[in-house]
């Protein structure tokens, strides 16, 4: 199924299209439906998981009235949001205000075009898959800035400006931490990255995983970096002025981003669809949910960082560590071109521990003012 694309365009199409009856378009249709269903269903699942597990951690019950165990709560939420009045502020930039939720949501769904749900089960096995993911995912922040600007609300604008600053800073450690994985897999295609993971890369790349997870959380506004919609400060940040279906789209985009991040982490660090006994797609979904659960966990536990501390973390902590991670991975890959021996797992974990401890000695988030 995996062939390297040549310069010839017809060969390129054949890379995308499997040998299904009907060829490319049939494949496209099936996977588009699968992706949209996957995103919508899992977002609903995420909302349910988040609310229930957060409630559990906060010594309360959470939604348990709608359907068995409150399972229908996301459906009820969706219906409620659909029926709400759609309010556009008088002074808003109407077109930008209207387009923003769409611009925020579309890239999130587009990310899934290259995420494999099973061996070769993906819409398009782009040979620059992971690069495509990074490029497309950051477009979502344009939607957020449009929302902040178009609403003509000061809280929204502050939230949106924080988001852009965070995305610009965190994109760099995010991409650099992926390079370690790419070096080990020898490919940018997500499917090939999964195929290369006899042992999940999280074990060989613990430092890369840590950086990717932190930077990813900061990019998609998950706590402790949820400065863009900091509810105790900016009421709701960029989506303060949104209601009804437009708000629902933002909500969907937000959890969609969390889903996208969990999927990418599951794919490039946790071995994607690989796993014994269970069918590949189930393994994939399980890993995605585990990653998401960790995000919920941090959200219930940590206070929120400040904007300058957020920037300092990206530039002074994550960026140098990401560069060191690339160096170490490159040396290891050069030394063992046939594949890394499993003993390196311990070496790498030890390196991560030493580096993190060293850096946290050197670098304080800053008690008081941080000069950035």
Contact residues: other proteins, CB under 8 A = 54, 57-60, 154-155, 158, 223-224, 226-227, 230-235, 299-309, 360, 364-369
Distance of closest approach, residue 166 Cβ to other proteins, in angstroms: 13
Residues 6 or more apart whose CB falls under 8 angstroms from that of 206 comprise 348, 349, 352
Residue 18: closest CA among 177, 124, 93: 124
Nearer to other proteins, 90 or 232 (CB): 232
Residue 111: closest CA among 228, 230, 216, 204: 216
Distance of closest approach, residue 232 Cβ to other proteins, in angstroms: 5
Q: Is the peptide bond before 224 cis (omega within 30 degrees of 0)?
A: yes
User: CA-CA distance, 227 to 234, in Å (whole number)?
Assistant: 8
Residue 101: closest CA among 136, 59, 151, 54: 151
Q: Which residue has the tokens 């922040």?
A: 141
Distance of closest approach, residue 365 Cβ to other proteins, in angstroms: 4
Nearer to other proteins, 230 or 261 (CB): 230
Distance of closest approach, residue 236 Cβ to other proteins, in angstroms: 9
Distance of closest approach, residue 230 Cβ to other proteins, in angstroms: 6
Q: Which residue blocks in the chain are alpha helix, DSSP H?
A: 9-16, 23-57, 73-83, 94-111, 129-137, 140-150, 154-185, 190-195, 201-204, 206-219, 244-268, 280-301, 307-312, 319-335, 344-362
Distance of closest approach, residue 304 Cβ to other proteins, in angstroms: 3
Q: Which residue has the tokens 């249709």?
A: 29
Whether the Cβ atoms of residue 176 and residue 315 lie closer than 8 Å to each other: no
Whether the Cβ atoms of residue 258 and residue 222 lie closer than 8 Å to each other: yes
Residue 190: closest CA among 139, 143, 136: 136
Distance of closest approach, residue 294 Cβ to other proteins, in angstroms: 15
Nearer to other proteins, 53 or 106 (CB): 53
Nearer to other proteins, 192 or 235 (CB): 235
**Signed CA dihedral, 13, 16, 21, 22: sign only:** negative
Distance of closest approach, residue 321 Cβ to other proteins, in angstroms: 16
Phi, psi of 153 (to 5 degrees): -130, 140
Distance of closest approach, residue 159 Cβ to other proteins, in angstroms: 11
HSE-up of 154 (CA within 13 Å, CB side)?
1
Phi, psi of 336 (to 5 degrees): -125, 75
């Amino acid at each position: 199924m995996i062939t390297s694309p040549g310069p010839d365009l017809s060969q390129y199409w054949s890379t995308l299209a499997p040998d299904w009856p009907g060829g490319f378009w049939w494949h496209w249709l099936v996977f588009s439906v699968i992706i949209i269903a996957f995103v919508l269903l899992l977002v609903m699942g995420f909302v349910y998981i988040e609310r229930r597990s957060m409630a559990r951690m906060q010594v309360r019950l959470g939604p348990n009235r709608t359907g068995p165990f409150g399972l229908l709560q996301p459906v009820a939420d969706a219906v409620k949001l659909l029926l709400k009045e759609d309010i556009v502020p008088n002074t808003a930039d109407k077109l930008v205000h209207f387009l923003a939720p769409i611009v925020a949501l579309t890239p999130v769904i587009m990310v899934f075009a290259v995420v494999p749900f099973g061996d070769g089960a993906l819409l398009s096995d782009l040979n620059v898959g992971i690069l495509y993911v990074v490029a497309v995912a950051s477009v979502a922040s344009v939607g957020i800035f449009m929302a902040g600007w178009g609403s003509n609300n000061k809280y929204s604008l502050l939230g949106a400006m924080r988001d852009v600053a965070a995305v610009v800073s965190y994109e760099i450690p995010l991409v650099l931490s992926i390079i370690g994985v790419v070096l080990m897999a020898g490919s940018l295609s997500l499917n090939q990255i999964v195929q290369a993971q006899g042992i999940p890369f999280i074990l060989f790349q613990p430092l890369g995983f840590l950086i990717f997870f932190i930077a990813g959380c900061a990019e998609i506004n998950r706590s402790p970096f949820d400065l863009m919609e900091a509810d105790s400060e900016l009421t709701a940040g960029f989506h303060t002025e949104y209601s009804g279906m437009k708000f629902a789209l933002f909500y969907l985009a937000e959890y969609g981003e969390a889903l996208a991040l969990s999927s990418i982490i599951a794919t490039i660090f946790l071995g994607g669809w690989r796993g014994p006994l269970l069918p590949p797609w189930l393994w994939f979904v399980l890993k995605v949910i585990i990653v998401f659960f960790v995000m919920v966990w941090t959200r219930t536990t940590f206070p929120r960082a400040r904007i300058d501390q957020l920037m300092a973390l990206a530039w002074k902590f994550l960026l140098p560590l990401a560069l060191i991670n690339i160096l170490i991975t490159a040396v290891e890959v050069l030394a063992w071109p046939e594949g890394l021996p499993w003993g390196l797992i311990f070496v790498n974990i030890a390196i991560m521990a030493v580096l993190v401890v060293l850096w946290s000695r050197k670098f304080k988030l800053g008690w008081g003012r941080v000069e950035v």
